[in-house]
Amino acid sequence: MGTKGNEIIGMDVSKLVTELNKALADEWLAYYQYWLGAKVVKGQMREAVTAELIEHADDELRHAGMLADRITQLGGTPVLTPEEWYKVTNCGYDAPSDPHVRKIVEQNIAGERCAIEVYQKLSTMLKDKDPITYNMALEILADEVEHEDDLEAILEDMDLVKKG
């Protein structure tokens, strides 16, 4: 871990690591929710929705990687077991038990709204304290905002198709 790099952090590093681990747990659960959703989804616009879900799954996994790398850089340990994901998650896991396309998209929109809140809070906490993690949180926040927007657009298109 970078000694000088960690000295410039204007907050308790162990508290920061705890928050990053909570977000890491969220990202793994979001990854699996999207990944599995893409496998089981049925209904209107199935191909387009599947492609979007897979794209978002890839993004969540990439976010998990960014968080784990930063945690390690800070001298922390990324959550070591899947059991811990459940214990520390902010946003939880909503199983795609109903494969209907609208239901799956709605579940993931709820997840994105939670993620947006998490990264918004993290950014506020990190501003003027840790520029590196702050930038990372903003980058992830922008992706989550895009995810929510993409999913809302799918619902909008489905409604337009219905109206003809």
Please state the closest distance from residue 112 (CB atom) to Fe ion, in A: 5
CA distance 17 to 47: 39
81: left (phi over 0), alpha (psi -120 to 50) or beta: beta
Please state the closest distance from residue 155 (CB atom) to Fe ion, in A: 16
Q: Report the partner that residue 150 touches, choosing among Fe ion, Mg ion, none (CB closer than 5 to 8 A by kind).
A: Mg ion
Please state the closest distance from residue 76 (CB atom) to Mg ion, in A: 30
User: Per CB under 5 A, does 143 bind Mg ion?
Assistant: no
Mark residues 92-131: x for contact with Mg ion by CB under 5 A, - for none. ----------------------------------------
Ligand-binding site membership of 147 (annotated)? yes
DSSP string, the chain: --HHHHHT--S-HHHHHHHHHHHHHHHHHHHHHHHHHHHH-BSTTHHHHHHHHHHHHHHHHHHHHHHHHHHHHTT-----SHHHHHHH-SS------S-BHHHHHHHHHHHHHHHHHHHHHHHHHHTTT-HHHHHHHHHHHHHHHHHHHHHHHHHHHHHHHHH-
Contact range with Mg ion by CB under 5 A, out of 36-44, 75-83, 92-100, 143-151? 143-151
User: Per CB under 5 A, does 150 bind Mg ion?
Assistant: yes
User: Per CB under 5 A, does 144 bind Fe ion?
Assistant: yes
Please state the closest distance from residue 111 (CB atom) to Fe ion, in A: 7
* Nearer of residues 6 and 155 to Fe ion, judged by Cβ: 155
User: Per CB under 5 A, does 130 bind Fe ion?
Assistant: no
CA distance 13 to 11: 6
Q: List interacting residues with Mg ion (CB under 5 A).
A: 55, 150
Residues making up the binding site? 27, 63, 112, 144, 147
Residues making up the binding site for Fe cation? 27, 63, 112, 144, 147
